[in-house]
Structure 1
Amino acid sequence: MPVPRDPFADHPVLEAALPVAVLTALHDVAHLPDDEHQRLAAEFADTIAAHGDDLLYGGKHCAPTFAALARGLAVLAHQPGGVTFTGLHWCVGSGHHGTRHQAPCDAEIAREAAQQDSPR
């Protein structure tokens, strides 16, 4: 089976800017409740699906699509196990912020399980 091509291989500026943008967005979405995370994730997914070509090839929707991608990854970083995209991993519980780490993140899953087991 062929290895999928990295969509950012020809976009070094995008690859360099994304970790910084996600790190910034982590703070922006941290205080939001889960239902708002879900709503935003759907909104961001729609934007990326509609304008992902502008993000990769330039176009009038490039900036909002980049913001949607960064904020969407930040929302997903708050989920158990975090998120990995183009080989970069983010998860808030274990402090992986754009590291080269394979998902699922064992440290994050263990933290989430401990949190669920603890009395409230």
Structure 2
Amino acid sequence: MLMPIRKGIAAHWSTKQVGALPTNRFNLFMGKNRLFHIMGYLHFSNNKSPQASIDRAWKIRPVLDVLQRTFARGYQTHPVISFDEATLPSRSCFNPMRQFNKDKPHKWGTKVFIAACAKTAYCSRFV
């Protein structure tokens, strides 16, 4: 394995060598406890925002809006559009939108509704 998937941020401070690339380099720059202390106070959005009770993806909504505008300018959809639901795979317990769907290939994930081109299956918009 070239670079193993870590089971969390704390695993990057492990002294055990796993994989081909050199690991345990984070502790040369910052201690693990110091990073967790900083992460507890470092926020890029206001958690008390009234938007939080309405929109579950409010922290990343500006990024999603820019992506949808950019992709809409670069691709013209076919006249026949399919509306469907999709599951974005994620097993993270920190994802408040995570759902279990037994009928999907990826059982755990975030359920989104998409508008896709019926001919090419290109997702032009999702909510």
Same fold (TM over 0.5): no
- Larger of the two Rg values belongs to structure: 2
Query: What TM-score, normalized to structure 1?
Result: 0.28
Query: What TM-score, normalized to structure 2?
Result: 0.27
